[in-house]
Amino acid sequence: MAMFQNLSATQKLQAAVHKDVRGICTEASHFLGLEITKPAIEVIAELVFKKCRVYGSDLEAFAKHAKRSTINADDVKLLVRRNPSLKSRLLSLSSNCGKDKRRKSVPVVKQDVAKGASTSGECAANVQLASSLLESKESDVEDMVVDQIDLTFD
């Protein structure tokens, strides 16, 4: 039996894709109360593998045509332009993405604040001061900080 370490880079990627596709497929078919067989999963994994390669070369060509060297969200939207439902799904996802990006910066602040709170042993007033010093732009920072305090005090 071949060890994972001995496989070539492509085979490793294929194995990784296969693993993730198996998870999605079993979950999706269980929603309908069905079982999915192993060969069917293999076919779908192969399909995704080959499709992603085609997407890669397409996206590169789109970016090159726009005289960019970085592929951005617009290129992906151009890729899915023929499928309206998929396009609307991606549009809603990318509009949520902006919010997520802003949220991502919060946990860093949160951790720093939490560390300060736990070492000094001070209460909420100090923490709120620290959070306002660090970054007071986010309106939900204070809510999350309060959550963090509850967690640490538990």
Binding site for other proteins (CB under 8 A): 9-10, 13, 16-17, 20-21, 23-25, 27-37, 39-40, 43-44, 47-49, 51-60, 63-64, 69-73, 75-77, 79-83, 86, 89-90, 93-94, 97
Q: How far apart are CA 83 and CA 57, in angstroms?
A: 19
Minimal distance in Å, beta carbon 108 to other proteins?
A: 17
Give whichever of 79 and 114 is closer to other proteins, judged by the CB atom. 79
Q: How far apart are CA 121 and CA 60, in angstroms?
A: 53
Label residue 45 exposed, middle or buried (CB < 10 Å: 0-12, 13-18, 19+): buried
Cα→Cα distances 100→106, 123, 135, Å? 10, 29, 17
Give whichever of 73 and 124 is closer to other proteins, judged by the CB atom. 73
Minimal distance in Å, beta carbon 30 to other proteins?
A: 5
